[in-house]
């Protein structure tokens, strides 16, 4: 984090005291040099798993940030890849990373809040990486409903989800402490910065996907490792839109 290329302690502090949108505008120029950017090995594992579910013509990266997920869509979709995010700063970095022209599907960028997506049912595939901590549990169903409304019947909504760390482990207490600190910060300071690690439990996620009209299943991402009991460290949630357009 605190390398010459990454954000400084002061920059992170200013970001943390800003709103979620403003914080990411500030972080955007250095975001890809932080641990927050989804690692390439995760992107590659998801790409290989999703390719087996295709083919796809058009894809949507929900909360695209600097465009890592759009890079996945360009490898999976034949015609069009669209990234949507509410941070103008993040979208500016994404546009710079994927200049117009060249081979592959057309790439488009849209500034919008994922809780109110401006799309008709136009996509065969939607995906998202590392964004769900920015939505409160009460917002999750609405977010899924917006994605559902952006997909054609039979379209897929996919995203990786990691296994929770064992209770009492160092990782468990690290995430617990981060969320607790964030709750105190948001209780005492405005504007809020919404970022939590423990508000996306798999059981509740699957229930909300079903409520939103998806049929959901899980695929193991075993190339990302297994736990001591043999279960995968990460799974791919594959939610298929059911019902008419």
Selection from 105, 109, 205, 213 nearest residue 151 by Cα = 213
pLDDT in tens, 21-36: 999 999 999 999 998 8
What confidence category does residue 101 fall into, taking pLDDT thresholds of 50, 70 and 90? confident
Strand order in the sheet with 56-62: 106-111, 77-85, 56-62, 123-127, 151-162, 234-241, 214-220
Region 138-157: mean pLDDT is: 98
The pLDDT value given to residue 2: 54
Does residue 154 come out as left (phi exceeding 0), alpha (psi in the -120 to 50 range) or beta? left
Region 214-228: mean pLDDT is: 96
The pLDDT value given to residue 137: 96
pLDDT in tens, 185-208: 999 999 999 999 999 999 999 999
């Amino acid at each position: 984090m605190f390398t010459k290329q990454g954000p400084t302690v002061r920059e992170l502090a200013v970001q943390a005291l800003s709103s979620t949108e403003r914080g990411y505008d500030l972080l955007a120029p250095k975001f890809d040099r932080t641990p927050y950017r989804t690692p390439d090995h995760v992107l590659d594992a998801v790409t290989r798993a999703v390719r087996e579910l295709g083919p796809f013509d058009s894809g949507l990266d929900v909360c695209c940030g600097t465009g890592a997920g759009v890079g996945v869509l360009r490898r999976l979709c034949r015609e069009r890849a669209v990234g949507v995010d509410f941070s103008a700063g993040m979208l500016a970095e994404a546009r710079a990373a994927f200049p117009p022209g060249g081979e592959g599907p057309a790439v488009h960028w849209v500034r919008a809040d994922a809780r109110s997506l401006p799309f008709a049912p136009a996509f065969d595939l939607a995906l998202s990486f590392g964004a769900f901590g920015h939505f409160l549990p009460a917002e999750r169903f609405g977010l899924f409903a917006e994605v559902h409304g952006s997909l054609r019947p039979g379209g897929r909504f996919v995203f990786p989800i990691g296994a929770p760390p064992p209770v009492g482990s160092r990782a468990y207490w690290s995430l617990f402490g981060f969320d607790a600190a964030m709750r105190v910060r948001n209780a005492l300071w405005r504007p809020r910065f919404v970022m939590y690690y423990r508000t996306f439990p798999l059981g509740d996620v699957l229930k909300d996907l079903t409520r939103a009209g998806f049929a959901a299943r899980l695929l193991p991402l075993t190339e990302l490792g297994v736990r001591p009991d043999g279960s995968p460290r990460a799974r791919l949630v594959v939610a298929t839109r059911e019902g008419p357009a």
